[in-house]
Copies of this chain bind each other. A is one copy, B any other.
């Protein structure tokens, strides 16, 4: 059997994109939890340019960047397709994946940073939500009538944003402001198939609660 290792962080949305793809394809893998304060020699060697998780190691070869890994998994392993087959649909999926690569990091920053950087990130999140709210005015998925590549890329907006809101006590998303986004998000989180792939919300909440508490009690 192919040897697959994933270097990651269980609470990271980037990591979960990859886990999701591996689960869709039914690939068995060894998960190696990294410590960002003390990165492993394997991580530094496997991703020498960015030194970031996630990294997939397949038969000794490393692949970096979460959505690049998801596409690699889609092309390498048997199982249900993640990217659409039609070139125009694939382009729409790639377009949205790039959108979330660019806009997604603001989700974490808008809660975990402070001052000017935090305000800038909050504005980015609101701009992103406006776009998504408009996008889901008359559709349910990013591409056609199926959940796939772009939706996996959107996981931080769908799940982590709400968890960070609850842990920090700061509300950004309301159904009055972003009704279509909220409908999409609720279906995303509650659909039975996704539930199987997403990390447990309560465990994420415990993790981020602890982070906010630690930040609040840290010396100023």
Q: Which of A24-32, A64-72, A184-192 contacts B (4 or more CB under 8 A)?
A: A64-72
* Shortest distance between the CB of A60 and any CB in chain B (Å): 11
Query: Which residue of the partner chain B has the closest CB to A68?
Result: B94
Do A75 and B87 form a contact, CB below 8 Å, given A68-B98, A98-B68, A98-B101? yes
Query: Which residue of the partner chain B has the closest CB to A135?
Result: B49
**A58 contacts across to B, CB distance below 8 A:** 88
Do A69 and B91 form a contact, CB below 8 Å, given A98-B101, A101-B98? yes
Q: CB-CB contacts of A88-119 with B at 8 A, as 1s and 0s? A: 10110011001101000000000000000000
**A88 contacts across to B, CB distance below 8 A:** 58, 61, 63, 72
**A99 contacts across to B, CB distance below 8 A:** 49
Contact across chains for B101 and A64 when beta carbons are under 8 A apart: no
Q: Interface on chain A toward B: helix, strand, loop, or mixed SS?
A: helix
CA distance A49 to B131 in the complex (A): 7
Q: Hey, which bits of chain A sit against chain B, CB under 8 A? A: 49, 58, 61, 63-65, 67-69, 71-72, 75-76, 87-88, 90-91, 94-95, 98-99, 101, 131
A-B contact pairs, 22 of them (CB 8 A): A49-B99, A49-B131, A63-B88, A63-B91, A63-B95, A64-B95, A65-B95, A65-B98, A68-B91, A68-B94, A68-B95, A69-B91, A71-B90, A71-B91, A71-B94, A72-B87, A72-B88, A72-B91, A75-B87, A75-B90, A98-B101, A101-B101
Given A61-B88, A69-B91, 16 new contacts (CB under 8 A): A49-B131, A63-B91, A65-B98, A67-B98, A68-B94, A68-B95, A68-B98, A71-B90, A71-B91, A71-B94, A72-B87, A75-B87, A75-B90, A76-B87, A98-B101, A101-B101
